[in-house]
Amino acid sequence: MRIKTFEAPTLQDALEKARQELGEDAVVLNTRYVKPSGLLGIRGTPKVELTAAVQSEEPVLAKTNELASRSNNGVVNSTSSGSEDGLLSSADSCAQQISSETAAGHKAVDCSGLGKASSEIEVIKWELKRLGLIVENLLSARTSAVPHMLMSEHTAHASALVRAGVEAEVAYKHLADLVHLEDSDLLARALASKLECFIRPFDCSRSRVVAMVGPTGSGKTTTLAKLAAKWSIERGKDVALVTVDTYRIGAVDQLRTYARIMGVPLEVAFSPADLAAAIHKHAARDLVLIDTVGRSHRSEEHLRELKTFLDAVESIETHLVVSAALSPEVQYEVVEKFSIFSPTCLIITKLDEVSSYGVLVNLPFRSGLPISCTTSGQNVPNDLSIADARDIAAAVVGRIPAEAVR
Ligand code: GDP
């Protein structure tokens, strides 16, 4: 990608400069009026500064030479009177001029011979494209509270990252050097390297006691069963399950059924002391997974009560389970409410219920918490993925809506 800033007395002149140097595919990233220099701006004339970018690294001279030779070979009918052809033939004659003058060693190129009307159409086309991108970006960012300044500086270009569901605020604040990438492979690779520090793959070698916390219905019990199956059946580890979920009728039975099928022990804790005893009982196990009470995350009393349970266990890792299907506002509320548990990781569930995977970037960057695993379906144990930066980046970029791909 080439990004260049052009200065000219008027916007039209700046656009013309950008078009000549970067070609027709260039996109305007930003425009600003520069005050004249000198005391109170009395001396000098105001200027327009325009920043534009083009995806291709191909020098525009090669393109202009190509245009010139196409014209010479008669591929484009330079005598055509149609308006589009008229524009093309103007461009071609300009290209020929650039080509021959550059060959003759001249640096300055005067394209002022282009018809005034056609250059005005060009300005309108550029402006329409720019406005379209602004609207697109605003729509993508409608759920985020993007600071006004930030938006006004950057809305000229709805980047692929934003189209992939990454909130504009996250994109421009934390991933600013990625917002101009349009090539999917490049973007996925760059995003993967940014995500590395937000990935903490689930692994029982760090902590052998892991608790799941999160709102009711977020998928804690199901995810716990998936993890237990993966570690006990696939990896041959010694796993035990403990539940402090004594509030929901049937919740213990659900876990008991999973435990029986997998052949792993299940303990039910009715008090913090019970929980500590259960952990002690399974001290020799490779992994002890704790399921927690399912009640509203808005009940502070419940959250404090649950905390007294988990505080009874030493060396515990707490994973916050958040459903991708919740609105971003509720997801952030969940992160805030459960911060009393100082979770070490996020588990993002129900990816099969959403069309964009932006949450896999938004939530870690906003919360500062890494992802340990994700789930995308109700099947135990299959619909579970241990977090991997490259897989997540590819999945996020792979969800850019087809109609939005340029
Ligand atoms: P808990 O209250 O947090 O323990 O949530 P559960 O594990 O009981 O899950 C609540 C519901 O969500 C159940 O119907 C699960 O089958 C379902 N569920 C769990 N994980 C997923 C997932 O990744 N995708 C979908 N679509 N449903 C899920």
| Residues 221 and 210 placed together within one structural domain of the fold | yes
Instruction: Return the ligand 1 atom nearest residue 375 CA.
Output: 23
Residue whose pair of structure tokens reads 């149609």 in the numeric block: 82
Q: What is the pLDDT of residues 123-148, one digit of tens each?
A: 566 556 555 554 554 454 443 434 43
Separation between Cα atoms, residue 398 and residue 78, nearest integer Å: 43
Domain count, the chain: 3
The pLDDT of residue 146: 41
Say if 7 falls within a structural domain.
yes
Last residue in a domain, options 148, 174, 197: 197
Residue whose pair of structure tokens reads 């992994």 in the numeric block: 287
Share of the chain above pLDDT 70, in %: 66
| Residues 219 and 325 placed together within one structural domain of the fold | yes
Separation between Cα atoms, residue 82 and residue 98, nearest integer Å: 24
Say if 212 falls within a structural domain.
yes
213, 220, 222, 258, best to mutate for ligand 1 pocket (most atoms within 8 Å of CB)? 222
| Residues 163 and 241 placed together within one structural domain of the fold | no
Q: What is the pTM of this model?
A: 0.65
Number of residues that this document lists for the chain: 406
Ranking 105-119, 323-337, 375-389 by mean pLDDT, the lowest is 105-119
Q: What angle do CA 314, 260, 286 make, to 5 degrees?
A: 35
**Nearest by Cα to 192 from 391, 389, 397:** 389
For residue 217, the CA-to-ligand 1 centroid distance in Å is 6
Q: On the CB side of 26, how many CA atoms lie within 13 Å of its CA?
A: 29
| Residues 277 and 141 placed together within one structural domain of the fold | no
| Residues 180 and 239 placed together within one structural domain of the fold | no
* Contact between 350 and 324 (Cβ < 8 Å): yes
| Residues 68 and 150 placed together within one structural domain of the fold | no
For residue 350, the CA-to-ligand 1 centroid distance in Å is 7
Comparison of pLDDT for 404 and 171, the residue scoring more: 171
Q: Show the domain range for 307.
A: 200-387
| Residues 7 and 146 placed together within one structural domain of the fold | yes
The pLDDT of residue 80: 34
Cα dihedral 350/351/357/358 (nearest 10): 10
**Nearest by Cα to 48 from 3, 20, 15:** 15
Residue whose pair of structure tokens reads 């709102």 in the numeric block: 215
**How many CB atoms sit inside 10 A of residue 121's CB?**
13
**Nearest by Cα to 244 from 273, 222, 270, 224:** 270
Token pair belonging to 208: 């052998």
The pLDDT of residue 254: 84
Last residue in a domain, options 197, 232, 262: 197
**How many CB atoms sit inside 10 A of residue 7's CB?**
12
Say if 125 falls within a structural domain.
yes
Domain of 239, CATH number, reads 3.40.50.300
Q: What is the pLDDT of residues 164-173, one digit of tens each?
A: 999 999 999 8
**Nearest by Cα to 291 from 254, 333, 323, 262:** 254
Say if 402 falls within a structural domain.
no
Token pair belonging to 376: 């995308």
What angle, 0 to 180 degrees and rounded to 10, lies between the N-to-C axes of helices 11-22 and 60-72?
A: 80
319, 378, 382, 384, best to mutate for ligand 1 pocket (most atoms within 8 Å of CB)? 378
Say if 398 falls within a structural domain.
no
- How large is the average pLDDT for residues 363-382? 94
For residue 262, the CA-to-ligand 1 centroid distance in Å is 19
Q: What is the pLDDT of residues 258-286, one digit of tens each?
A: 999 999 999 999 899 999 999 999 999 99
**What is the band of 291 on the pLDDT scale with cuts at 50, 70, 90?**
very high
- How large is the average pLDDT for residues 375-385? 94
| Residues 93 and 131 placed together within one structural domain of the fold | no
Mean pLDDT of the chain: 77
**What is the band of 325 on the pLDDT scale with cuts at 50, 70, 90?**
very high
| Residues 130 and 75 placed together within one structural domain of the fold | no
For residue 91, the CA-to-ligand 1 centroid distance in Å is 60
| Residues 41 and 142 placed together within one structural domain of the fold | yes
